[in-house]
Chain A
Amino acid sequence: MLSQFHLPLLTRELIEQSNRRRTYVFRVIYAVALFGLTGWTIWSEVGEMWASGNRAILTMGIGRTVLDSVVGLQFAGIYLFLPALVCGSITSEKERETLGLLIVTRLGPWTILFEKLLARLVPMSGYLLLSLPLLAVARTLGGVSNMDIVWAAIVLCVTMFLVASFSLMWSVLARTTASALVLTYVTGAIFMLLGNWVVITAIEGFASLLTLNFTPTVYSSGPYPYTRELFMLQNSPQSTFLLGSFAFNGTVLFKVGRMTGAAPAGYLLLPSLLAAGSCLGIARWQFWRRAFPPAGSFIPKLLRWFDDFFHRINQNRLTRGIVLVRDKNTLPLFKPVAWRETVKKSLGTTRYLVRLLVLLELPLLPLVSMVLFDLIEGRQLILPRPAGVIYPVWFFAVLFVSVHATGAIANERSHQTLDVLLSTPLTSREIVSQKLAGVWKLCFVLAIPFATAILYELMTTAEASRPIMPMGTNPWTGQVYTQPVFRKLPHLFWSIASFLIYLPLMAWLGLWLSLRLASRLRALVTQILLTVAICALPLLFVSSLRGVMTIGSMVVVVISPLAALMQIELHSVPFDETTRTVTLAVNMVLWAGVAGWLRFQCYRHFAELAGRLDPVASSRVASAVEKPALEFEAVGEMG
């Protein structure tokens, strides 16, 4: 039917999607997660009271909580899944060298872009439509107006359109799907997390110059960044220039819109729509220029650009081109794979690692300086908090390690060099251990920004009094904040332990996925989704476990690395010192065990997964061949 409307590309894409088994598998998983988590939210709201028999009254008005839960999950779905869906739309054509064939047809760039965009929006819309019955349940339970539901639907659609346009832009700009995906997540996260903060800080600074009196009001009903936007909007709704900060944060848009009412909220959609339009405009503008990008990945090019930049600024009267670390043009001695990973790869080369270090340290220093400045001035610390400094470092560290580790074997496969490497006398164990040499070097460099952040925390915070989040409630548990007792030595210990366990965990997980999955993109997407799942899902499950030190909150801190980090940094659940120590210790042992298991799997099954005959493995194969009854199954292996 679609072909009758002359949408051949959309038709083809939808047929391809419908022929893939994973389309249906993802849909089922998405539906199960959405319905399961919403059901859990409802149960945790009313379960206890329900058992007591006082049912009718207690369920009244909880529709609002259900609506928040459904919309929050759908936002998570949009931010997590949609980039993975859209990023390959143009880059996959480039990788298969079929974009040229599309270009020589009568389809213009706008047509190609819109049909590709629509082809990705259709399945995502299907995911959003899954929440219709849940919205009906929310409406039935009360506390939700029709306008709330309409507003939720509008904001979700607008956010979906924005994220899809943003991802499509990177798909046009990047050469490979993997780089498009990484760029989408990184730049999207920067816009989402820092956009609000930068705009608000600038406005505050401007206001203070004009001696206007802005007293921040801290709300306590959810993740912190939007509280001050609420304040600003409520006090100056005409300040439409502020709205730019909402464009990339749909959750804020939804909450603010609901609180301010429909009429002013309508204006809030403008920045998102403008941002989406700009993304599509950039995609169209760069469509021809980036249709056939030259070979070579983005990161080396970026690093070479930085190379030139630093070289230029180094040529001055003061430094006179002094070079502190000079890369030696060495040849491999006894560990060739490790040599290539550490000397020839972008993220392994000392010079480039120093550049990376500078890139990570540069944003840290002004933040930390502001903290120090606040302390000297005797002002209350709100933003940036010392504890907040380490989260961006974690984000980038996990991303860099994941990108590097998932490429370890997958890149050899895609460049068709794996067979050559496997046919050398290097043992499987040597290949595995040398392949991660670059990742360990990267971790070593990442230790410096981590150390900076941790040391500043220790320096700027007095023992037993930590002015972080001085009032309000915990966004995850609903617990009212008290002044947490801050002990420097345990904090230092757990910070170092988390660094030494979580980053190697990411490295071994990346290598394992790189071995198991055919393409780097799949390995990277799977790694990101798994990381988000193990970090966030336990938190979501326990979001409604209100109360002090429940079993649920302890389980969450034990399971989720993110919860453990929040516990280390913010003391987010008000445990006593012993409980905190025990839960963190169990968490660390658990994930150290998982890292060890993944390491064992990589060493044990490398030959099997990479497709190489090893003496140990061959004996098992020989025994399989001896059993004629299992002839086909025993020797079967997809080539």
Chain B
Amino acid sequence: MLAIDVQDLWVRYGKFAAVKGISLAIPRGEVFGFIGPNGAGKSSTIKVLATLQRKFEGTARLGGVDIRQSPDRVREKMGYVPDSFGVYEDLTVREFLHFFAAAYRLPYSRRQAVVDDVLQLTDLAHKIDAQVDSLSRGMKQRLSLARVLLHDPEVLLLDEPASGLDPRARIEMRELLKALKEMGKTILISSHILHELAQLCTQIGILEAGKLVAQGSVADIYRRLSILRIVHVQVGGGPTDLADRLRGFAGVSQVDEQADRFAIRFEEGSLELEDLHDFIHGQGARIRMFQAEVMDMETAFMKLTEGITA
């Protein structure tokens, strides 16, 4: 069964359409990344799924439940984290989590254990009696994730969870999301920090001006767009015409000679990295560095979008 099933979704604000006929089918256990510029319709789509958008057209189901028919049942099945985190600054961490444990109607006898568990998972156990307003932004973000885990929802809806976090907090967040992925949660996450989604998501959807311009796995999208992968190689010794020999190697599209290295480009799927390594070694060159560049999501994004906002 699909965790999220959206068909022909339209969201309008007056005469302005923020979302124009989006369809999504996200199986259980997937991590789906929503990428798009500001105003593309990411938050509006997530708000529909979080039962916070009263008026929309099309159908939207979460965990098999129609959002329009049974929003109260949908709220039991999902956890929503807005981009502002939505934390009560006047409470302590313990009070904050107990507040939402009561809001999610957890039995009182289980609450303490559940609160301890989610704090352990989010690495906030040592902050249990700290005032929320004394926490760093990264901690507040982890606390808001702890909040949505209290009732063990099937689906997590995370709207720009990494926005405004420093690099360490972003890495901690990414690791936490990986742990949730391993727990089998279905996660819909929106972000404009593209390479983070590439590392985490099993599927991505690129949204522009309210329309879904691409959807699929990261590799699928690279393949479809014919995006070249890059490997940086630094060698010692070897033949002087190594660059020309590399250009002649099957699968290599382009070789740039830089001051201390070669930048070798090839199409996804046309060449295995191990074969390239063996070829260079076979030419008598001693390899000092062999580094494949991280998937170039920015290029994919720029190719797919034209900078239009809805």
Among B50, B54, B89, B100: residue with most chain A CB under 10 A = B54
A295 / chain B contacts, CB cutoff of 8 Å? 89, 133
Q: Contact check, A618 vs B102: say whether CB atoms are below 8 A apart.
A: no
Given contacts A419-B52, A419-B82, A423-B52, contact A334 B57 (CB under 8 A): no
Q: How far is the CB of B93 from chain A (nearest CB, A)?
A: 12
Partner of B99, one of A340, A612, A635: A340
Q: Is A108 an interface residue (CB 8 A)?
A: no
Given contacts A344-B90, A424-B100, contact A419 B80 (CB under 8 A): yes
Q: Is B173 an interface residue (CB 8 A)?
A: no
Q: Which of A83-105 contact B (CB under 8 A)?
A: none
- Of the stretches B13-21, B198-206, B276-284, the one at the interface is B13-21
Q: Is A426 an interface residue (CB 8 A)?
A: yes
Partner of A613, one of B51, B78, B84: B51
Q: Contact check, A425 vs B12: say whether CB atoms are below 8 A apart.
A: no
Q: Contact check, B68 vs A612: say whether CB atoms are below 8 A apart.
A: no
A334 / chain B contacts, CB cutoff of 8 Å? 102
Partner of B104, one of A335, A424, A611, A613: A424
Q: How far is the CB of A624 from chain B (nearest CB, A)?
A: 8
Given contacts A613-B53, A614-B71, contact A639 B87 (CB under 8 A): no
Q: Of all chain A residues, which has the CB nearest B157?
A: A423
Q: Is A415 an interface residue (CB 8 A)?
A: yes
Q: Is B259 an interface residue (CB 8 A)?
A: no
B-side interface size class = 35 or more
Q: Contact check, A636 vs B133: say whether CB atoms are below 8 A apart.
A: no
Assembly CA distance A525 to B79 (angstroms) = 36
Q: Contact check, A638 vs B14: say whether CB atoms are below 8 A apart.
A: yes
Q: Contact check, B82 vs A637: say whether CB atoms are below 8 A apart.
A: no
Q: How far is the CB of A484 from chain B (nearest CB, A)?
A: 49
Q: Contact check, B75 vs A425: say whether CB atoms are below 8 A apart.
A: yes
Q: How far is the CB of B139 from chain A (nearest CB, A)?
A: 17
Q: Is A143 an interface residue (CB 8 A)?
A: no
Q: Which of B67-121 contact A (CB under 8 A)?
A: 67-72, 75-76, 78-80, 82, 84-91, 94-95, 98-100, 102-105, 108, 111
Q: How many residues of A contact B (CB 8 A)?
A: 44
Query: Chain B 27-56 against A: per-residue CB contact (8 Å), 1 yes, 0 no?
Result: 000000000000000001001001111111
Partner of B88, one of A340, A607, A608: A340
Q: Contact check, A639 vs B13: say whether CB atoms are below 8 A apart.
A: yes
Among A345, A420, A426: residue with most chain B CB under 10 A = A420
Q: Which of A313-352 contact B (CB under 8 A)?
A: 331-337, 339-340, 344-345
Assembly CA distance A618 to B99 (angstroms) = 28
Assembly CA distance A340 to B69 (angstroms) = 31
Q: Contact check, A426 vs B52: say whether CB atoms are below 8 A apart.
A: no
Given contacts A611-B54, A613-B68, contact A419 B86 (CB under 8 A): yes
Q: Of all chain A residues, which has the CB nearest B43?
A: A639
Q: How far is the CB of B21 from chain A (nearest CB, A)?
A: 13
Q: Which of A411-436 contact B (CB under 8 A)?
A: 415-417, 419-427
Q: Is A282 an interface residue (CB 8 A)?
A: no
Q: Contact check, A635 vs B56: say whether CB atoms are below 8 A apart.
A: yes
Assembly CA distance A384 to B89 (angstroms) = 45
Q: How far is the CB of A230 from chain B (nearest CB, A)?
A: 51
Q: Contact check, B75 vs A423: say whether CB atoms are below 8 A apart.
A: yes
Q: Contact check, A613 vs B86: say whether CB atoms are below 8 A apart.
A: no
Q: Is A122 an interface residue (CB 8 A)?
A: no
Q: Contact check, B98 vs A332: say whether CB atoms are below 8 A apart.
A: yes
Given contacts A336-B103, A613-B68, A635-B57, contact A416 B95 (CB under 8 A): no
Q: Contact check, A416 vs B86: say whether CB atoms are below 8 A apart.
A: yes
Assembly CA distance A344 to B57 (angstroms) = 40
Q: Contact check, A625 vs B57: say whether CB atoms are below 8 A apart.
A: yes
Q: Contact check, B99 vs A339: say whether CB atoms are below 8 A apart.
A: yes
B111 / chain A contacts, CB cutoff of 8 Å? 331
Partner of B95, one of A344, A425, A617, A639: A344
Q: Contact check, A618 vs B75: say whether CB atoms are below 8 A apart.
A: no
Q: Contact check, A612 vs B55: say whether CB atoms are below 8 A apart.
A: no
Q: Contact check, A422 vs B91: say whether CB atoms are below 8 A apart.
A: no
Q: Is A632 an interface residue (CB 8 A)?
A: yes
Q: Is A589 an interface residue (CB 8 A)?
A: no
Q: Is A133 an interface residue (CB 8 A)?
A: no
Q: Which of A584-636 contact B (CB under 8 A)?
A: 607-608, 611-615, 617-618, 621-622, 624-625, 632, 634-636
Q: Contact check, A336 vs B102: say whether CB atoms are below 8 A apart.
A: yes
Assembly CA distance A379 to B91 (angstroms) = 55
Assembly CA distance A625 to B47 (angstroms) = 18
Q: Contact check, B95 vs A331: say whether CB atoms are below 8 A apart.
A: yes
Assembly CA distance A333 to B105 (angstroms) = 9
Q: Of all chain B residues, which has the CB nearest A430?
A: B103
A634 / chain B contacts, CB cutoff of 8 Å? 55
Given contacts A344-B95, A635-B57, A636-B12, contact A423 B51 (CB under 8 A): yes
B85 / chain A contacts, CB cutoff of 8 Å? 416
Given contacts A425-B72, A636-B14, contact A611 B103 (CB under 8 A): no
Partner of A423, one of B50, B89, B90, B108: B50
Q: Which of B189-231 contact A (CB under 8 A)?
A: none
Given contacts A416-B82, A416-B86, contact A612 B52 (CB under 8 A): yes
Q: Contact check, A615 vs B69: say whether CB atoms are below 8 A apart.
A: yes
A635 / chain B contacts, CB cutoff of 8 Å? 10, 12, 55-57
Q: How far is the CB of B274 from chain A (nearest CB, A)?
A: 48
A615 / chain B contacts, CB cutoff of 8 Å? 69-72
Q: How far is the CB of A207 from chain B (nearest CB, A)?
A: 52
Q: Contact check, B72 vs A427: say whether CB atoms are below 8 A apart.
A: yes
Assembly CA distance A426 to B76 (angstroms) = 10
Q: How far is the CB of A301 from chain B (nearest CB, A)?
A: 13
Q: How far is the CB of A639 from chain B (nearest CB, A)?
A: 5
A-B contact pairs, 26 of them (CB 8 A): A295-B133, A333-B102, A336-B100, A340-B91, A344-B90, A415-B88, A415-B89, A416-B84, A417-B87, A419-B47, A419-B50, A419-B80, A420-B86, A420-B147, A425-B72, A425-B76, A611-B52, A613-B53, A613-B67, A613-B71, A618-B54, A621-B68, A632-B15, A635-B12, A636-B15, A639-B18
For the complex of A and B, list the 9 residue pairs with the smallest distance between their C-beta atoms, beginning with the closest.
Answer: A420-B86, A416-B84, A336-B102, A424-B103, A331-B98, A423-B80, A332-B102, A613-B71, A636-B14
- Extra pairs beyond A613-B51, A624-B55, A625-B55 (14, CB < 8 Å): A336-B100, A420-B86, A422-B52, A423-B80, A425-B76, A607-B54, A613-B52, A613-B54, A613-B67, A618-B54, A618-B68, A634-B55, A635-B55, A636-B15
- Chain B interface (Cβ within 8 Å of chain A)? 10, 12-15, 18, 44, 47, 50-57, 67-72, 75-76, 78-80, 82, 84-91, 94-95, 98-100, 102-105, 108, 111, 133, 144, 147
